[in-house]
Amino acid sequence: MKAVVVSEFGGPERVEIAEVPLPRPEAGQVRVRVRAAGVNPVDGAVRAGVFGGAGQRIGLGWDVAGEIDEVGAGVAGWAAGQRVVGLHYGTVKPLGTHAEYAVLDATAIAAAPATVDTATAAGLPLAGLTAGRAVDLLGLAPGSSVLVTGAAGVVGALAVQLAVRAGLEVTALAGAGDEAYLRSLGAAAFVPRGGAGPAEPVDGVLDAAVLGESALGFVRDGGVYVGLIPGAAPAPAAERGVRVVEQEVAADGEHLARLVSLVDAGGLALRAGEAFDLADAAEAHDRLATPGVRGRIILTA
């Protein structure tokens, strides 16, 4: 089968389409016929060698949407033909979801949303689980104020919606042209990127843009800062009693199922981006590096 891999680190030109053996699910796993898979910033970081693995052939891809093709021993509740979404966690792995087939733990998948197409659904797992866990880690009571940086990005937009659902007063920080979109998601206030920030210190910051110290400066004394990408940049040092939390996403089928339910109930809007054929993965990576991309870039297999 065909799979997207990198054998040498570098730019989009290092992305290869390789012929690899068809994987088989082991006990507790399922094999998914991939129909669509998100291209995330972490894929670009893996390609560039941020997470190491020199000398190996590394498979790319975390998100997947498709249907189960084969079920491993001991898996209950899943059968061939079921439409699913899932998260294949791992930075340095021989095979990811940017392939014609992918093997995932059965605990990492959920039934696919019924109300959006497969390409749109493929953008949910990594971004949704990242945003959902970050909102949980804020630990703020309803009515508290939170600033979401990078709010117009895929993770940021989902975080805005989930924070609003949690009863938080959300200020969105993004490009000036994104204000109307973010207010439509429920943001109560908006501050443009590069400006002075919120008028008053906030109870918490969810730093989807990885601004670090500058974002920490918007938090009131004793508040909370949640960073999203461990290893992408040094976490800001705690100060003024601010609790600094770095979260790392995990494959969690139960949490993913709750997000799917929100999508199907109309309570969580997904933003589809450009779609590329699997054979054009290098072009998708080139597009990923283009400033101002909105919506998750998708590979279709």
Do 64 and 116 lie in one domain? The reply is yes
Q: What is the pLDDT of residues 45-61, one digit of tens each?
A: 999 999 999 999 999 99
CB contact burial 44-65 (16+ within 10 A = b; e otherwise): bebbbeeeeeeeeebbbbbbbb
As a whole number, the mean pLDDT across the chain is: 94
CATH of the domain at 26: 3.90.180.10
Task: Using CB atoms within 10 Å of the CB of residue 151, give its burial: 0 to 12 exposed, 13 to 18 middle, 19+ buried.
Answer: buried
Does residue 263 form part of some domain?
no
Domain of residue 9 covers 2-124+270-300
- What is the CA angle 143-145-146, rounded to 5? 130
Do 47 and 97 lie in one domain? The reply is yes
> Residues 6 or more apart from 172 whose CB is under 8 A from it?
147, 148, 151, 152, 156, 160, 178, 179, 182, 183, 185, 187, 189, 190, 191
Do 111 and 150 lie in one domain? The reply is no
Does residue 284 form part of some domain?
yes
> What CA–CA distance (Å, rounded) separates 31 from 144?
43
Q: What is the pLDDT of residues 91-106, one digit of tens each?
A: 999 999 999 999 999 9
Do 147 and 114 lie in one domain? The reply is no
Q: Check if the beta carbon of residue 121 is closer than 8 Å to that of residue 298.
A: no
Q: What is the DSSP string of 225-286?
A: EEE--TTTSPPPPP-TT-EEEE------HHHHHHHHHHHHTTSS---EEEEEEGGGHHHHHH
> Dihedral of CA 278/85/42/208: which sign?
positive
Q: How far is CA 292 from the centre of its chain?
A: 17
**295: confidence class by pLDDT, cuts 50, 70, 90:** confident
Does residue 251 form part of some domain?
no
Q: Which residues make beta-bridge pairs with 140?
A: none
Q: Check if the beta carbon of residue 89 is closer than 8 Å to that of residue 255.
A: no
pLDDT at 124: 97
Does residue 255 form part of some domain?
no
Count of domains forming the chain: 2
Do 115 and 163 lie in one domain? The reply is no
Q: Check if the beta carbon of residue 293 is closer than 8 Å to that of residue 286.
A: no
CATH of the domain at 230: 3.40.50.720
pLDDT at 231: 55
Q: Check if the beta carbon of residue 169 is closer than 8 Å to that of residue 179.
A: no
Count of CA atoms in the C-beta half-sphere (13 A) of 271: 19
Share above pLDDT 90 across residues of the chain, in percent, rounded to a whole number? 88
Q: Check if the beta carbon of residue 145 is closer than 8 Å to that of residue 171.
A: yes
Distance, first Cα to last Cα, the chain: 11
pLDDT at 186: 97
Tokens 């054998």 belong to residue: 7
Q: Check if the beta carbon of residue 118 is closer than 8 Å to that of residue 112.
A: yes
Do 92 and 35 lie in one domain? The reply is yes
Q: Where does a domain end: 230, 246, 262?
A: 246
> What CA–CA distance (Å, rounded) separates 13 from 26?
33
Do 69 and 163 lie in one domain? The reply is no
pLDDT at 196: 83
pLDDT at 167: 98
Does residue 15 form part of some domain?
yes
Does residue 132 form part of some domain?
yes
Does residue 135 form part of some domain?
yes
Q: What is the DSSP string of 59-126?
A: E---EEEEEEEEE-TT--S--TT-EEEEE---SS-S--SSBSEEEEEGGGEEEPPSSS-HHHHTTSHH
> What CA–CA distance (Å, rounded) separates 121 from 112?
7
Q: Tell me the mean pLDDT in the region 4-24.
A: 96
pTM: 0.94
Do 109 and 135 lie in one domain? The reply is no
Do 7 and 119 lie in one domain? The reply is yes
Least confident of 13-22, 45-54, 95-104, 165-174: 45-54
Q: What is the pLDDT of residues 251-287, one digit of tens each?
A: 999 999 999 999 999 999 999 889 999 999 999 999 9
Do 109 and 172 lie in one domain? The reply is no
Q: What is the pLDDT of residues 200-259, one digit of tens each?
A: 999 999 999 989 999 999 999 999 999 986 555 677 888 999 999 988 899 999 999 999
pLDDT at 233: 66
Do 197 and 213 lie in one domain? The reply is yes
Do 137 and 49 lie in one domain? The reply is no
Does residue 262 form part of some domain?
no
